[in-house]
Structure 1
Amino acid sequence: MRPFTRIIFSSVLTSMAFQVSAGVELNGELSQGALVRAKVQPGTQVFLNDEAVKVNEFGQFAFGFAREAELEQMLKLVYPDGLTELKPLKLKQRQYKIQQVNGISKKIMKPDPKAQERAAKDSKQVKAARAQFTENDAFNQNFIWPLTGRISGVYGSQRVYNGKPGTPHYGVDVAAKTGTVVVAPADGVISLSVPDMFYSGGTMIIDHGYGVSSSFLHLSKLYVKQGQLVKQGDKVAEVGSTGRSTGPHLDWRVNWYQVRLDPTTVVPSMKSVLAKENAK
């Protein structure tokens, strides 16, 4: 005879930034594009939409929702005593900035075959770096901005070129002069450090553990190499305009494995950070 499985259903958890429900503590807004850090009783198994989520020995874990994620999600907790609890999650839908751009030449719209081949190799390296799993608990730190200044580009925005939708922007851009220092937003290990990729130019990825990573694009100089350990606040690179960039800025991206997230969901608002800096 198969053992009896006890299953209980919880009330729907919504888009509040910090919630404590029976069995789980969620830190992060439940919305499209958000990274959520969470904690359960140690030994609990966690599943997001029936996909297993890695949990550390302290019961801490992370998960995230894509730009166009379904608004209804399901978190399943299997406690050490065998009790299974289903927790429906209701995400906040986001609106993104869409810009129409016409009159773009075909040459710009479609790079030559050699450039496309190079870009494909770059993409393979990036995906491999983001696919890594490491038992680093830095993902649970309070992240800081790697650079402060004027935000010139936002997550989720998209341009439509000659009527054809382009790839959405999956980072937050901070405008700064070439050579401005970039610091690590949290502890981690450098999982990628390449000075010249086709689209992103100088590119660096920091693995914060449990699938969470930061990517820096268009860098002019990289201070650290792949495999090197960094601490929050360490100087790791300099701002640039390398790759396909129209001006110097830092393009900061956050991922949960291959899920592209909004970095602003893990840091205080830029406005509040700048206000504190100006008050000093």
Structure 2
Amino acid sequence: MRRIAIAALPVLAAACTAIPAPDAPPAPVATTRAEVVQPLPAPTPTPRATPNGPSTFLFDGQLTQGGWIRGTAPGGTVSARLGDAPLELDPQGRFFAAFDRDAEPSAELIATLADGRTIRSPVAVSPRAWNIEHINVARTPGGGMTDAFWRIREPELNAIEAARQANSDTDGWTQDFAWPVTGRISGRFGSQRVYRGEPASYHSGLDIAPGAGTPFVAPADGVVTLAAHDPFSLEGKLIVIDHGAGLNSAFLHASQIFVNVGDRVSQGDRIGLVGATGRATGPHLHWSLKWREARLDPLLFLGPMP
């Protein structure tokens, strides 16, 4: 990848299935059980300057909506952020950040140095033409989520949120990601239906349909922070892997899971089998990626399908 140097200026998973979910909630199901790691409060470290490094930000990546950025902060940086989002710097001053599906066309990297100076580097974020389907019918009216279903759904959502907020000691974010499985792509990130001007939720991941029972693997190193061996009501059997620096993966609808919470996985390790558990129209792997609260396009992390 090409490294980009920008001169310093003075003073710087709702999980989706292969088709949009209907408005009416599903019939209540039995209470589910899952292993989940509870994130510990992040310690407040004493600010420490990064080692000697570049005089400004160096970075590369997929600088587009749903994309990502990796780079190195200026030498002497004690804290850095992308807009209002703090960045985690490793001992070499390296960082990872990303752009939500609906990110604005411009962003800014900001570093505060040990000597009190601030360095700012603008980042252009290119827009994308999403697959938007306009349907000239009104959305099917729904009765909302019942109290009985919410009693099941709320702990599931809390477990997913806790797993995606975990901050593990892993540097999977530094790797070039590998395909978790290969096969027909049955759903793309960002696609959306609009019913007479009323938008439905967009598809938040990448769906790959290689056939039921096909093994899938970890796309990068990480730590398992959720393993729902008993299927969740919508996601089915679910795995969440923390890749570090705020980046995490979720894998939905598995027929079988081979990992448990706390397991360290390496890129290429087999972690489950493709299935159709939860709310799914057929066997497929739904893979979603998030950085903090930003939802990302897995295709932008991958090379061509082998």
- Please give the TM-score of this superposition, normalised by the length of structure 1: 0.83
**Which of 58, 62, 73 is matched with 1:25 structurally?**
58
Q: For structure 1, list consecutive stretches of 5 or more residues without a partner in the other structure.
A: 1-15, 271-279
Range with bigger deviation, 49-58 or 216-225: 49-58
**Which of 280, 287, 296 is matched with 1:252 structurally?**
287
Report the AA paired with residue 99 of structure 1: E
Structure 1: distance between partners of 2:153 and 2:134? 25
Report the AA paired with residue 194 of structure 1: A
SS in 1 for 2:62: coil
1:147 is matched with which residue?
A: 181
**Which of 128, 131, 134 is matched with 1:97 structurally?**
131
1:207 is matched with which residue?
A: 242
Q: CA deviation at 1:20?
A: 3.4
Structure 2: distance between partners of 1:198 and 1:108? 18
1:236 is matched with which residue?
A: 271
**Which of 177, 195, 219 is matched with 1:185 structurally?**
219
Range with bigger deviation, 49-58 or 170-179: 49-58
1:267 is matched with which residue?
A: 302
1:11 is matched with which residue?
A: none
Q: Give me the CA root mean square deviation.
A: 2.4
SS in 2 for 1:28: strand
**Which of 165, 172, 177 is matched with 2:206 structurally?**
172
Q: 1:104 to 1:194 in 2, by over 3 A?
A: farther
Higher relative contact order (CA 8 A, sep 6+): 2
2:32 is matched with which residue?
A: none
1:58 aligns with 2:87: no
2:33 is matched with which residue?
A: none
Q: Please tell me whether the aligned partners of residues 131 and 258 of structure 1 are also in contact (alpha carbons under 8 angstroms).
A: no
Q: Please tell me whether the aligned partners of residues 191 and 207 of structure 1 are also in contact (alpha carbons under 8 angstroms).
A: yes
Structure 2: distance between partners of 1:153 and 1:17? 30
Structure 1: distance between partners of 2:192 and 2:127? 16
Q: 1:147 to 1:43 in 2, by over 3 A?
A: farther
Structure 2: distance between partners of 1:238 and 1:193? 13
Percent identity (aligned): 37
Structure 2: distance between partners of 1:85 and 1:105? 48
Q: 1:163 to 1:24 in 2, by over 3 A?
A: closer
2:148 is matched with which residue?
A: 114
**Which of 132, 140, 159 is matched with 1:125 structurally?**
159
Structure 1: distance between partners of 2:68 and 2:60? 9
Instruction: Tell me how many residue pairs correspond in the alignment.
Output: 256
Q: 1:105 to 1:50 in 2, by over 3 A?
A: closer
1:217 aligns with 2:258: no
Structure 1: distance between partners of 2:269 and 2:160? 22
Structure 2: distance between partners of 1:50 and 1:99? 33
Range with bigger deviation, 247-256 or 105-114: 105-114
Q: 1:43 to 1:235 in 2, by over 3 A?
A: farther
1:158 is matched with which residue?
A: 192
Structure 2: distance between partners of 1:67 and 1:166? 15
Q: 1:230 to 1:241 in 2, by over 3 A?
A: same
**Which of 56, 71, 80 is matched with 2:105 structurally?**
71
